[in-house]
Amino acid sequence: MKISWKFKPFNDLTAHELHDFLQIRQQVFIVEQNCPYSDIDKTDKLSFHLMALANQQTVGYARIIPPGVLYDEVSIGRIVTHQKLVVEKALDECRSLFPNSPIKIMAQSYLCKFYESFGFTVISEEFMEDNIPHIYMFRT
């Protein structure tokens, strides 16, 4: 499957792009994980949105949150499907946009080893977020 990419700030998104990535986030984070929570938040408007497309369908997604919005550091969040490809591309975009910023993420605990493979290290004790175990991780 050939993947193409779109990467845009919120104000440059089309209505169709917004719909497509909100739909895939809802499917994964709310329906599949059986976790009713408020996925759409004010952070979306302040973020950059990375969309992976196959046959013009959104098959992966991540948002890149600039420093000062959630944390002092840049952050990557809402990572959906094709995780390895999406994380690699998101890290590339972070380096391009914010070349000297470390990256802080809030990860579901079961993905700790996965994110460690990208150079992230655990910086917190496990905690519950929306009834799912999470940890904070950091990458310099």
Query: Are the CB atoms for 106 and 134 separated by under 8 Å?
Result: yes
**Mean pLDDT for the chain?**
94
Q: Name the residue among 112, 106, 94 with its Cα closest to residue 48.
A: 94
The pLDDT value given to residue 47: 98
The pLDDT value given to residue 51: 97
How do residues 106-136 score in pLDDT, each as one tens digit? 999 999 999 999 999 999 999 999 889 999 9
Say yes or no to pLDDT of 32 above 90: no
Question: What is the rounded average pLDDT of the residues 68-76?
Answer: 97
| Beta-bridge partners for 107 | 135
The pLDDT value given to residue 58: 92
